[in-house]
Chains A and B, each alone.
Chain A
Amino acid sequence: MRSDVIIVGAELDGLVAALRLLEQGYSVRIFCRGASSLHSAPGGIHLLSPKGASQEPPLAGVEALDPRHPYRLMGLPGVEQALAWFFRTCEALGQSYCPNGGNSLALTPAGMTLPTFAPFRHQASLAAVQAARVAVASFRDHRDFPAGLLLQGLQKAGVSATGIELEAPEGRSESVAIARAFDRLTDPKAYFRGVKDRLAAGSELVLFPALLGLEKQETLIGDAAGQGLVCLEVPTLPPSVAGMRLAFALERRILQSNGLFHRGVTVAGRRNGDGRVIGVTDQRDRFYAAKAFILASGGVLMGGLEVEADGMVLEPTFDLPVAQTAPLDALQVDQALDALHRTGVEVDESLRPQGKGQHTHDNLFVTGTTLGHWNPMGEASGEGVSIATGWAAAEAARRYLEAS
């Protein structure tokens, strides 16, 4: 079973790489153990946040980063090309984002804000609610959206806000079930008319938990607008429908482009030869060959890197050299978190793993959180680095395939 490229991991970076390669006519096989970390992501695209909300392009802060940071390794022009491609692709998939050059302050379910480069289309930001009279909606018995905290945060920020508790369609109370029930609504207009009737007079804007459909959010929000209800969404705690929408949209597109998913599969072994990876095996020792490989295994969070009891960090799939951390248990909590994020595989500028000053394999490229020297939470750069490195790995794999 031979493909042009095998991608290990269905994280955002792996999905981006897969789609980019499929677009260019290569055959792609993706191995993933389970759901991607997009299922826990709040949905907006975080690029970099050197200083909170600012109209300054966040990438202006790249110079201050570690020289080994993925953005600096691949260079700004590549990052910008990758983002442009990504937003264009998502637009075509009905998954629109609103980049406006700088970071806006997206509202969080706890009533705080997150600097976000490109909120998803109907994502609520502080700027959008500041001058409005707002109703904060919550669904009865739904536990993963602390609407009371959001309400309190808005009021503290001087926003005129009230709460309204709604019944979710079909009486659902779990995030994903609520979103699917919205997708199934036979008469969305009637539902939103009912909401409208219950609103306090003068409410101009309703903040919903980001559960208005897994697939049909555009239509649903359009239906609501038709009933005179202006809706924006605020992400929930994980599982996060806002993040899942992106994962599902990309996965659907990959399947339509004849990409192959092997789900629930752990890459258990690899065969090397002649300075290259020749193939990988699954748990049942089935062998899969490819010309190039992309490791998008999700770092420590997703098990793509393993932390041993003695503090050693290992890359189990290809046994790649890893930039180790200081002993974690000797660090302060913030330093320990930072170290767990920053540990990862060392690569050269074409994302090939590097050890002792040279790359370990000609045809292996590493992306996303499996890379070292960056911190998605500390820098608020998770999606940005994933998109950029996924795109760059696809480019590097293409160059390799063309050359060989």
Chain B
Amino acid sequence: MPSPSPASVDAPRVVVIGGGATGCGVARDLALRGCSVTLIEYGDLGSGTSSRFHGMLQSGARYAVSDPSYAAECMRERRTIARIAPSTVEETGGLFVSLPEDPADFAEAFRHGCRAAEIPAEALDPDAVMAEETSISRNVRQAFAVPDATVHAWRLVNLLADDLRRRGGSVLTRSQVSGFEIAAGHVTAVRYAARNGSEGRLEADAVVNAAGPWSARVAALAGGRVSLQLTKGAILVLGHRLVAKAINRCRPPSSHDIMVPTGTVSLFGTTSEVVGDPDTTLVRPAEIQELLEGAAPLIPGVRALRALRAWAGVRPLVKPEHWPEGKPLPRRHAVINHGEQGIQGFFSVSGGSLTTHRSMAEDVANQVCRHLGINQPCTTATTSLEVETVAGPWRPVQGFQEVERAGEARKLLCECEAVDQAAVAELLQNGAVRHLHDVRRRLRVGFGPCQGSFCGARLAEMLAAHHPDLATEEELGRFWSERLKGAVRTTWGEQARQMLLSDVVYRGTLGLRLDQAVLPREERR
């Protein structure tokens, strides 16, 4: 099939709101079908829910019993992403382990569910599993291997955005939608305010709202309705890869039952709390205690481990109309055509997950194309996102192996995550990178055990060489305080020492002051 040409001059103009995986996926899909697409994002790409989850590319096994059709969709999409964006996926594999306190009959239902959803689930010898996974409980009764994986979400989001740009689309970050222009019941333009104070408008033949937990607010700006249930999930980051595979409890999906190896650390999650405000990402002390307590059966030594930080994300689930009160909401996404609410050309998509972002994009793009009279099939499932023809998988520990082989430790910029100077230099050359945070998200600089104590100044120096007007004090202050903000929730043991060491570096050596306007704006509780 010939690949559709980049948007022509009279191509239909579509504005996509939201720069997470879903929004970037929608924008890319529509660009592939010949639309002229502008993506608009409030912050940096992937800075919302797409970077605030457990980091898994899910096989769907987790939902094999509770939500079989969603489970099957996860499995299909998980395979698709591994095919079109292999450099974002680490094939860790996943385990479901049954502990004495888990319902004994669930394992059987789980096995059936996986079979029905076409998720390969292989029963393993519990002793072999315990021999391999030394951090987990010694009381594993049953264990199943499933094809769970982990995903480098920021890389995925940026691959999507890069592909969008290559196909003629444009990306506006740090710009907040402020309103819509609607004429004769049709949306005709999106107004926005950029962080730098400038304002603008984007004319549009159609608009897609993919703003995740913020999509109800965005829809309301146009007078549209999206009914969401927002759930906050807090995650604890533990130093080192304590498990080889992503480990789930073999029980009905609930809170604190996943341990995921990602990068050089492990994530344990999550809590689950219904919230009203999509900006509720502050982790309360009680949530940390809840996570530690919840983790103890699976990871008995968890309190003695080094917790690096904690953070939370807000996940949106769509509340279908007339849904019975109290019944668990479907995990699957929904597309809302606001034409039915009197706003033609305005669509919202929400729910689902990062694993299913591509099929979410396909569904909403199908409706947009129908509205615009475009007769092009979706090709995102078969069009590679990788620039290199043979892209290898994401191998987080590869950096260390390369350094060991080359004996070039001197060129490392971030020792904890094995990020070398060349990777940062390449990013500075290619990308519109203006802040330390932009680099941090893309390369995981500062994510490891030292939490940015040593790489911050090195990174600032490289950035300042590209941007001589860099506000160094503010940049370093924000970088450091952002690291502290997560770490302060887990300040005990070695991490308490680490916080003070970072103080020795930032205040005691670099001369930063905490009374400068460097502390992040306090988040609402």
Interface of A toward B, CB cutoff 8 Å: 37, 40-42, 108-114, 141, 143-144, 146-149, 152-153, 173-174, 235, 237-238, 240, 299-303, 306-311, 327-334, 336-337, 340-341, 376-378, 382
Residue with the greatest number of chain A CB neighbours at <10 A, chosen from B462, B501, B511: B511
Measured in the bound complex, the distance between the Cα atoms of B473 and A299 in whole Å is 28
Measured in the bound complex, the distance between the Cα atoms of B465 and A256 in whole Å is 48
Cβ of B428 within 8 Å of any chain A Cβ, yes or no, is no
Number of chain B interface residues as a range: 35 or more
Chain B residues with CB below 8 A from A141, complex form: 410-411
Q: Nearest Cβ distance between residue A338 and chain B, in whole angstroms?
A: 9
Cβ of B458 within 8 Å of any chain A Cβ, yes or no, is yes
Cβ of B468 within 8 Å of any chain A Cβ, yes or no, is yes
- Asked if A336 and B488 sit within 8 Å, CB to CB, the answer is yes
Chain B residues with CB below 8 A from A40, complex form: 501, 504-505, 508-509
Q: Nearest Cβ distance between residue B131 and chain A, in whole angstroms?
A: 28
Measured in the bound complex, the distance between the Cα atoms of B499 and A144 in whole Å is 19
Cβ of B298 within 8 Å of any chain A Cβ, yes or no, is no
Contact partner, A333, options B465, B488, B508, Cβ 8 Å = B488
Cβ of B519 within 8 Å of any chain A Cβ, yes or no, is yes
Q: Nearest Cβ distance between residue A344 and chain B, in whole angstroms?
A: 12
Say yes or no: A42-B458 contact (C-beta < 8 A), given A148-B464, A333-B488, A340-B496. Answer: no
Say yes or no: A153-B509 contact (C-beta < 8 A), given A40-B501, A328-B491, A377-B503. Answer: no
- Asked if A329 and B285 sit within 8 Å, CB to CB, the answer is yes
Measured in the bound complex, the distance between the Cα atoms of B413 and A333 in whole Å is 25
Measured in the bound complex, the distance between the Cα atoms of B364 and A378 in whole Å is 53
Q: Nearest Cβ distance between residue A370 and chain B, in whole angstroms?
A: 13
Q: Which residue of B lies closest to A375 (CB)?
A: B503
What are 9 of the A-B contact pairs (CB < 8 Å)?
Answer: A42-B509, A141-B411, A152-B464, A152-B468, A238-B509, A301-B504, A337-B503, A340-B499, A341-B500
Say yes or no: A337-B484 contact (C-beta < 8 A), given A112-B512, A149-B472. Answer: yes
Say yes or no: A146-B461 contact (C-beta < 8 A), given A110-B472, A329-B489, A337-B503. Answer: yes
- Asked if A110 and B488 sit within 8 Å, CB to CB, the answer is no
Chain B residues with CB below 8 A from A237, complex form: 454, 457, 505, 509-510
Q: For the complex, would chain B's binding face be called helix, strand, loop or mixed by DSSP majority? A: helix
Chain B residues with CB below 8 A from A299, complex form: 500
Say yes or no: A238-B410 contact (C-beta < 8 A), given A110-B472, A149-B472. Answer: no
- Asked if B509 and A329 sit within 8 Å, CB to CB, the answer is no
Cβ of B492 within 8 Å of any chain A Cβ, yes or no, is yes
- Asked if A333 and B493 sit within 8 Å, CB to CB, the answer is no
Interface of B toward A, CB cutoff 8 Å: 285, 288, 292, 303, 410-413, 454, 457-458, 460-462, 464-465, 468, 470, 472-473, 476, 481, 484-485, 488-493, 496-497, 499-501, 503-505, 507-512, 514, 519, 522
Measured in the bound complex, the distance between the Cα atoms of B522 and A125 in whole Å is 35
Q: Nearest Cβ distance between residue A24 and chain B, in whole angstroms?
A: 32
Chain B residues with CB below 8 A from A240, complex form: 509
Measured in the bound complex, the distance between the Cα atoms of B489 and A141 in whole Å is 36
Count of inter-chain pairs, beta carbons less than 8 A: 142
Chain A residues with CB below 8 A from B411, complex form: 141
Measured in the bound complex, the distance between the Cα atoms of B508 and A340 in whole Å is 15
Measured in the bound complex, the distance between the Cα atoms of B464 and A147 in whole Å is 11
Given contacts A146-B457, A303-B497, A378-B514, 7 further A-B contacts (CB under 8 A): A40-B501, A40-B504, A143-B412, A238-B509, A240-B509, A309-B493, A382-B508
Residue with the greatest number of chain B CB neighbours at <10 A, chosen from A299, A310, A334: A334
Measured in the bound complex, the distance between the Cα atoms of B509 and A382 in whole Å is 12
Measured in the bound complex, the distance between the Cα atoms of B465 and A149 in whole Å is 9
- Asked if B472 and A300 sit within 8 Å, CB to CB, the answer is no
Measured in the bound complex, the distance between the Cα atoms of B458 and A144 in whole Å is 7
Chain A residues with CB below 8 A from B522, complex form: 332
Chain A residues with CB below 8 A from B492, complex form: 307-311, 328
Q: Which residue of A lies closest to B491 (CB)?
A: A328
Measured in the bound complex, the distance between the Cα atoms of B292 and A262 in whole Å is 38
Measured in the bound complex, the distance between the Cα atoms of B507 and A300 in whole Å is 17
Say yes or no: A112-B510 contact (C-beta < 8 A), given A309-B493, A333-B485, A340-B491. Answer: yes
- 10 smallest A-B Cβ distances: which pairs? A112-B511, A108-B511, A146-B461, A110-B510, A329-B285, A307-B496, A333-B484, A301-B500, A148-B461, A336-B488
Say yes or no: A37-B511 contact (C-beta < 8 A), given A300-B497, A329-B491, A340-B491. Answer: no
Q: Which residue of A lies closest to B304 (CB)?
A: A309
Contact partner, A111, options B303, B472, B488, B491, Cβ 8 Å = B472
Q: Which residue of B lies closest to A108 (CB)?
A: B511
Chain A residues with CB below 8 A from B473, complex form: 110, 112
Measured in the bound complex, the distance between the Cα atoms of B307 and A308 in whole Å is 12
Measured in the bound complex, the distance between the Cα atoms of B411 and A91 in whole Å is 39
Chain B residues with CB below 8 A from A336, complex form: 484, 488, 491, 499
Contact partner, A110, options B476, B496, B499, Cβ 8 Å = B476
- Asked if B507 and A377 sit within 8 Å, CB to CB, the answer is yes
- Asked if B511 and A114 sit within 8 Å, CB to CB, the answer is yes
Chain A residues with CB below 8 A from B413, complex form: 143
Q: Which residue of A lies closest to B476 (CB)?
A: A110
Chain A residues with CB below 8 A from B460, complex form: 110, 146, 149
Q: Which residue of A lies closest to B473 (CB)?
A: A112
